[in-house]
Amino acid sequence: MTDSFGPMRDEDADDGVVGMGPEAGTPRKEPIRVLVVDDHALFRRGLEIVLAAEEDIQVVGEAGDGAEAVDKAADLLPDIVLMDVRMPRRGGIEACTSIKEVAPSAKIIMLTISDEEADLYDAIKAGATGYLLKEISTDEVATAIRAVADGQSQISPSMASKLLTEFKSMIQRTDERRLVPAPRLTDRELEVLKLVATGMNNRDIAKELFISENTVKNHVRNILEKLQLHSRMEAVVYAMREKILEIR
């Protein structure tokens, strides 16, 4: 069982969500369609109330577990699935893969109390584009939805820190400390991937490498296609595990 709709903090601007991805694009013509999945009806209702105040976001459905989420996603084809990790019958991580099969364009944000590294890794591998803790502010929920809809990956700061710490440990446990070139990535793609790993968005990467933002977008798309991955966040995980990148 998950927690109830607990307090969401607004006090510290520096404790916001860490994002990876392009800047927000042009204003949308249609609202972002969201499916809310949590086994607590009160929490689902709370999210609906919060998101109803956002003109560009529309909650199109809700589900109480992963199994129901897959059925609802197939029927509603939402833009975003906002889903808890641990639920009865079928958990959120297990449901991720099935949701991506029945609604390929849907992007999944895990919203959970679980700060376990294993849950974060498994969620990323299953195709989640965001991983947020329920302690985030109400404003940050809407902001994260917009960011993910615009192609960014979102992760709570404490989880991002744990991710980097684990990457360091993985590298330190290996005897080989040198940079290993990726056999299928060009030198420029490797440069872009390294900057993605630092959390830079496309605009900042373009400035750093003195290339256009569209060129950066093309490089990121090529990296994901070559590595057969689904998101920028997953590309960073892959790069660390394969020792393509090294965090000092």
Query: 208: buried, middle or exposed (CB in 10 Å: 19+, 13-18, 0-12)?
Result: middle
Domain definitions of the chain by residue range: 13-158, 176-241
How many other CB atoms are there within 10 angstroms of residue 150's CB atom? Answer: 17
User: Residue 16 — pLDDT band, cuts 50, 70, 90?
Assistant: low
pLDDT score at 8: 38
Give tens-digit pLDDT for 176-193: 444 444 457 888 998 898
DSSP annotation string for 53-115? T-TTEEEEEEESSHHHHHHHHHHH--SEEEE-S--SSS-HHHHHHHHHHH-TT-EEEEEES--
> pLDDT grade, residue 1 (50/70/90)?
very low
Please tell me the predicted confidence (pLDDT) of residue 172: 54
pLDDT at residue 60 tops 90: yes
The residue count for the chain: 248
The contacts of residue 233 (CB under 8 Å, 6+ apart) are 20, 124, 129, 153, 155
Residue 110 pairs in a beta bridge with 83, 131
Specify the pLDDT at position 102.
Answer: 95
Specify the pairing of strand 18-20 against strand 153-155: antiparallel
CATH architecture of 176-241: Orthogonal Bundle (1.10)
Q: Give me the mean pLDDT over the 43-58 stretch.
A: 93
Residue 248 confidence (pLDDT) above 70:
no
Instruction: Tell me what the mean pLDDT of segment 63-69 comes to.
Output: 94
| Mean pLDDT (whole number) for 150-178 | 63
CATH for 13-158? 3.40.50.2300
Share of the chain above pLDDT 70, in %: 75
pLDDT score, position 48: 94
Q: Is the pTM of this model over 0.85?
A: no
Give 34 or 120, the one with higher predicted confidence: 34
- Gap between the Cα atoms of 163 and 147, Å rounded: 20
What the block records as the tokens of 207 is 């400035």
Query: Of 13, 5, 192, 234, nearest to 112 (Cα)?
Result: 5
Q: Which has more pLDDT, 65 or 115?
A: 65
pLDDT band at 138; cut points 50, 70, 90: confident
Give the per-residue pLDDT at 22. Answer: 45
pLDDT at 129 over 60: yes
To 10 degrees, what angle do helices 92-102 and 66-76 make?
20
What DSSP string describes 139-192?
A: HHHHHHHHHHHTT-EEE-HHHHHHHHHHHHHHHHTSS--SPPPPTTS-HHHHHH
pLDDT tens track for 200-238: 778 889 999 999 989 999 998 898 888 888 777 777 777
Output phi, psi for 108, to 5 deg.
-110, 130
